[in-house]
Structure 1
Amino acid sequence: MTQTPRSHGRKSIAASLKPRDLMEETRLARAWTAQVITLFPQAFPGVLGESLTGKALKEGIWQLETVDLRDFGEGKHRNVDDTPAGGGAGMVLRPDVMGRVIDHALGRNPGPLVYLSPRGRRFDQQMARDWATLPGVTLICGRFEGLDQRVLDHYRIAEVSLGDFVLTGGEIAAQAMLDATVRLLPGVLGNADSTAEESHSDGLLEHPQYTRPAEWKGLPIPDVLMSGHHGEIAKWRRRMAEDLTRQRRPDLWSAYKGRTDGKS
């Protein structure tokens, strides 16, 4: 069975609730490639088709391909799941079906194979940076009670979680992770300094931001930001970032202090 993935890139991506078949006759050879295995290909590109990621998609800086899991299903009704071995609620994605999908996907994308799972390693900024240096990534969106463990073992698939909560499927997580990664690709953000100063870029939360008017509802912009003294502004921003991180994310603060204390 030959399947044609749905490809997004260098095409019009105006907002729509309709399924997207933004097909390319040939792949963009040098573009960073995201391949998503999903039961809901119509969910893509979703928010990835908007703003800077959408502009980069149209410009061919990156490309998005969806592989419909249902196309590889069993029998007349294209079944992709079955009851859990040993009993229990819900359904489990079948290994034979997923195996066919993965074999197909591996022939198209040289990037790592990732299963989006609440029991996986938590996604973070460093992982986004790592993915951005690769040719691309293939994301498997889970559904139901999950994926047969034998598939994960056989293909040595990395499990990655968006956070310590459970979603109905991996599609939202996939879009969030791709957004975090694509914005780091060269040429996506107009100002490279934006990624250097934002939250998590150096292990700290971002400092508070202000803009005009100089006073709003009796609340002024901090004087130091209006001083024009760039050295003092940089010190204030660092101090605010450290204070926020220490108060709100003691886990990040502990890791940050461990790194900075080791350099002193």
Structure 2
Amino acid sequence: MKIDVLTLFPEFFSSPLNESLLKKAIDKDLLSVNRINIREFSQNKYHKVDDYPYGGGQGMVMAVEPIVLAYESIPKEKNSKTIFLSPQGQLLTQAKAKDLAAYDQLILLCGHYEGVDERAINLIVDEEISIGDYILTGGELPALVLIDAISRHIDGVVGSKTSVEEDSLSDGLLKYPQYTMPRSFRGEEVPEILLSGHHKNIENWRRELSLRRTQNKRPDLWASYNNKLKKEGK
């Protein structure tokens, strides 16, 4: 998959993209992340990319021209989509990340300051996505979250496909509790059923704990899960 990021701060991505699974995905040519500096497409000698909002108000607004010119510099794949990271967008979910992983190319627009000239959104953006109902200093962190979430669904990035399929939220539920060595630590014991070797009982136990954990910790997810079951007639 090819991801192009339109940003004022391309170096923001340097460290995260050189660590862990993202680095491995890039090294294996499963993922490429190209950072386009919007400032380089400014048409004035000071490389200015923002200005005061028409109609008055606080702060500065990212200008339409350098954004659109930066976008137009990107070679487009046939199966591509342009996303603006914005609190106005649809909330990012596991299902949405999986859907986006099917594209050959994603172009991500990172906003800054008080916002982006609406004309840039109208001209180039296919979809707006939010990572949560809170405000950050810019769109770079949300873009990284989106890249990381999507990358897990690209074949070969995560060693085990089953691991991805069993992730929390993959089926609308939180994941069951997990344990590893040692068997006992400061009075906390690994549940006996996990030591039984009876795989069907372990599977049933994990399913029950997944249901219980979702109901107790995320009633919003629990409600959505039950609504989905009702629609499916289960």
Q: Name the SS for the 1:36 alignment partner.
A: strand
Q: Name the SS for the 2:179 alignment partner.
A: coil
Is 1:133 aligned to residue 93 of structure 2?
no
Greater Cα shift, 150-159 or 243-252:
150-159
Is 1:72 aligned to residue 72 of structure 2?
no
Looking at structure 2, the residues matched to 42 and 154 of structure 1 have their Cα atoms a distance apart, in angstroms, of: 26
Is 1:263 aligned to residue 223 of structure 2?
no
Partner of 2:11 in structure 1? 42
Deviations 1:101-141 (A, max 9, x none): 22223x33441101111121111111110111110211001
Structure 1: runs of 5 or more not aligned: 1-31
Looking at structure 1, the residues matched to 38 and 12 of structure 2 have their Cα atoms a distance apart, in angstroms, of: 13
**What number of residue pairs does the alignment pair up?**
232
Is 1:52 aligned to residue 21 of structure 2?
yes
- Contact 1:48–1:179 (CA under 8 A) maintained in structure 2: no
Of 199, 217, 226 in structure 2, the residue corresponding to residue 230 of structure 1 is 199
CA RMSD of aligned residues (A): 1.3
Is 1:206 aligned to residue 175 of structure 2?
yes
> Normalization by structure 1: what TM-score?
0.84
Of 204, 218, 222 in structure 2, the residue corresponding to residue 249 of structure 1 is 218
Looking at structure 1, the residues matched to 116 and 154 of structure 2 have their Cα atoms a distance apart, in angstroms, of: 31
Partner of 1:85 in structure 2? 54
Structure 2: runs of 5 or more not aligned: none
- Poorly superposed stretches of 4+, deviation over 6 Å: none
> 1:183, CA displacement in angstroms?
1.6
Of 108, 115, 118 in structure 2, the residue corresponding to residue 149 of structure 1 is 118
Larger RCO: 1 or 2 (CA < 8 Å, sep 6+): 2
Output the amino acid matched with 1:186.
Answer: D
- Contact 2:174–2:213 (CA under 8 A) maintained in structure 1: yes
Deviations 1:194-247 (A, max 9, x none): 011110111001111111111110010011111111111111111111111111
> Normalization by structure 2: what TM-score?
0.95
Q: 1:78 to 1:257 in 2, by over 3 A?
A: same
- Contact 1:214–1:220 (CA under 8 A) maintained in structure 2: yes
Q: 1:263 to 1:230 in 2, by over 3 A?
A: farther
Partner of 1:108 in structure 2? 76
- Contact 1:109–1:137 (CA under 8 A) maintained in structure 2: no
Looking at structure 2, the residues matched to 126 and 215 of structure 1 have their Cα atoms a distance apart, in angstroms, of: 37
Q: Name the SS for the 2:106 alignment partner.
A: strand
Output the amino acid matched with 1:158.
Answer: E
> 1:50, CA displacement in angstroms?
1.1
Q: 1:156 to 1:178 in 2, by over 3 A?
A: closer
- Contact 2:83–2:125 (CA under 8 A) maintained in structure 1: no
> 1:85, CA displacement in angstroms?
1.1
Looking at structure 2, the residues matched to 223 and 260 of structure 1 have their Cα atoms a distance apart, in angstroms, of: 31
> 1:154, CA displacement in angstroms?
2.8
Partner of 1:29 in structure 2? none
Q: How does 1:128-207 map to 2 (within 5 A)?
A: 128-207=97-176
Partner of 1:121 in structure 2? 90
Quick one: percent identity of the two aligned structures?
38
